[in-house]
Amino acid sequence: MSDTVRLHWFNSTNPEKVRLALEELGIPYERVHVNLSKGEHKTDAYRELHPRSKVPALEIDGNVLWESGAILNYLGQREARLWPTEGTTLAKALNLIFLESAAFQAPAGVFFINRKILPSIGKSPDPKRMEAAQKKIDPVLRVLSEQLAESDYLLGDFSLVDLAYAPSLPWLDLDGFPALVRWRKRLMKRESWTRCEVSGPV
C-alpha cells in the first residue's frame, strides 16, 4: 500500500475543489494531470480508478475516492479539521455539500464551459444555455445567500463546505447577491487559492 496521496486532476472545477482542500489541510500529494482532450480519462488503466472515466480521482489510505463531495467529506473526517463532527453544524454541512452536487454543479458547469472551455477552443458561448442555467442556479444562490447573511462562510467559520462551491464562483453571474460577491472575494484571497492558481474571469 502506497503512502503517497495522489490526485488525478484536470484544470476544471471538481478537481480544483479537491486540490484546494489538500492545500488547506496541508496534506502532501502528487498531482497527476489527466489530459481530457487526449482521452486519457478513457483508458482502461484510468477506468480502474474511476468507473465513470471522469476527474478527479483521489488515491489515499489505500482507497480511491472519485466523487468530489465525498472526497471533501472524507478528508474532513480524516483530518478532523475544517469539518464539523456533530450536531446542527454537521447537518448543515451535509445539506450544503449534497446541495452542491444535486443542484449547483450542473448549472454552474454550463457557465464554466461557456466562459472558459469554449473560448479556449475558438468557439462562442451560448447565451441561451447560460440564461437557462441562471434560472436553475438562482434558487441555490438564494439558499447560499441566506446562509451568509450573518457570517463570512457557510458554516460560520471557513470549512471544506465552502470549497465545494469555490472554483465555480468566478464564472457565475452574482448580480443581486452581494453576500455571495463578498464570499467569493474572501475565498479568492486565501493562500490555497493563490497556490493553486485557480482560474476565473473575476
**Domains observed in the chain:** 6-79 (3.40.30.10), 87-190 (1.20.1050.10)
**Percentage of the chain surpassing pLDDT 90?**
92
**Residue 80 — pLDDT band, cuts 50, 70, 90?**
very high
Q: What is the mean pLDDT of residues 107-115?
A: 97
Write down the number of H helices and E strands in the chain: 10, 4
Kind plus residue range of the DSSP H or E element containing 65: strand 63-65
3-class secondary structure, 169: helix
Is residue 128 pLDDT above 50, yes or no? yes
Contacts within 8 Å (CB) and 24+ apart, 37-46: 41/10, 46/8
Distance separating alpha carbons of residues 7 and 64, to the nearest angstrom: 10
Q: Which residue in this structure is represented by grid cell 444555455?
A: 129
| Residue 98 pLDDT | 97
CB atoms within 10 A of CB 185: 11
Q: What is the mean pLDDT of residues 83-90?
A: 94
Cell numbers for 174, please give them.
Answer: 452574482
| Residue 1 pLDDT | 45
pTM: 0.95
8 Å CB contact between 173 and 110? no
| Residue 174 pLDDT | 96
What digits encode the pLDDT tens for the residues 185-202? 999 999 999 999 876 776
Distance separating alpha carbons of residues 110 and 113, to the nearest angstrom: 5
| Residue 86 pLDDT | 86
Query: How would DSSP label each residue in 5-62?
Result: -EEEE-SSHHHHHHHHHHHHHT---EEEE--GGGTGGGSHHHHHH-TT--S-EEEETT
Q: Interhelix angle for 68-79 vs 13-25, to 10°?
A: 10
Is residue 23 pLDDT above 70, yes or no? yes
Residue 31's beta-bridge partner residues? 7
Q: What is the mean pLDDT of residues 170-194?
A: 96
Q: Interhelix angle for 127-147 vs 105-112, to 10°?
A: 130
Classify burial at 194, counting beta carbons within 10 Å of its beta carbon; exposed 0-12, middle 13-18, buried 19 or more.
exposed
Q: What is the mean pLDDT of residues 122-145?
A: 97
Is residue 2 pLDDT above 80, yes or no? no
Is residue 16 pLDDT above 80, yes or no? yes
